[in-house]
Amino acid sequence: MVIDFHAHILPGIDDGAKDLETSIEMLDKMKKQGVDLVVATPHFYADRMTVDGFLKNREKAYEAVESRRRDGWPKVMKGAEVAFFPGISKAGRVRELAIEAESAEPSAKGGSEAAGSGDESPPGRGAALLLEMPFRDWDRSVEQETISLTRGGLFVILAHIERFMRPANEAAIERLLARPNIAAQANANSLADRRLARKLVPLFADGKARFIGSDCHGVRHRPPNLPDGRKALLSALGAEFLARLDEDNERFLEELCRKKQA
Ligand SMILES: [Fe+2]
């Protein structure tokens, strides 16, 4: 199954698809490209929005897209691209932003608090969070908080890891990706870039990067382009590798859903 793990296809919710017509064009394009499933990952910024507000907007945008569903479109799963913030590992409600994680009980405080309020609701089981790491150099607390997020069963996917692969972060990236509940996602256009591919392909070969995303934002600017990344992996690591990656990705999402229902 061909899966796009990172896409801003939902309309009017972030700097991605600006309206429903754009979303429709993007999904038409994905269909032509042979994408079977796309995880919709609008940006979540804890300092600018609440979890409740975000989930409400995402649901509205998702429903709008589904109301116009066309034959052959990829299945759309709901997720978020959550920007790291200090205290994230203690913000219980962040788990509600994990891929297809079911909402926990509605907040007793009426839902007005931000994700970082320290709400200690139990962590969701079997959920995966697409995490956008800080763009400044990572210190120990960034690394520790990322590890703490995985306690309680949360799987952490480091979004477009290539943007952070610089000498200051090298050791931390190595330590984080050595952990069983953390893996990297790479953007298709980066895999298609020879210079970046030299760093990314070994991560895929070692199983430390396991997910590809288009990180698409529109039709003309940053369009859906998953095949560009897949082609690059195909030529670097072969057809068998790519088929295994697809199977692994499918199993990964199945597992998340199963655990959620358990
Ligand atoms: Fe993104």
Rounded average pLDDT per 10-residue block, the chain, 262 residues? 98 97 98 98 97 97 98 97 96 90 44 38 64 96 96 92 97 97 98 97 98 97 97 98 97 81 60
- pLDDT score of 100: 81
Residues comprising the chain, all counted:
262
pTM to 2 decimal places: 0.90
Domain count within the chain: 1
220 assigned to some structural domain: yes
Strands 155-158 and 182-187, by their bridges, are parallel
Gap from CA of 44 to ligand 1 centroid (Å)? 10
113 assigned to some structural domain: no
111 assigned to some structural domain: no
Gap from CA of 25 to ligand 1 centroid (Å)? 18
43 assigned to some structural domain: yes
Q: Which domain holds residue 62?
A: 3-104+119-261
109 assigned to some structural domain: no
Gap from CA of 174 to ligand 1 centroid (Å)? 22
We report the CATH number of the domain holding residue 41 as 3.20.20.140
65 assigned to some structural domain: yes
98 assigned to some structural domain: yes
245 assigned to some structural domain: yes
- pLDDT score of 123: 38
Gap from CA of 215 to ligand 1 centroid (Å)? 5
Q: Using CA atoms, how far apart are residues 230 and 233, in angstroms rounded to an integer?
A: 5
Gap from CA of 138 to ligand 1 centroid (Å)? 19
Gap from CA of 8 to ligand 1 centroid (Å)? 6
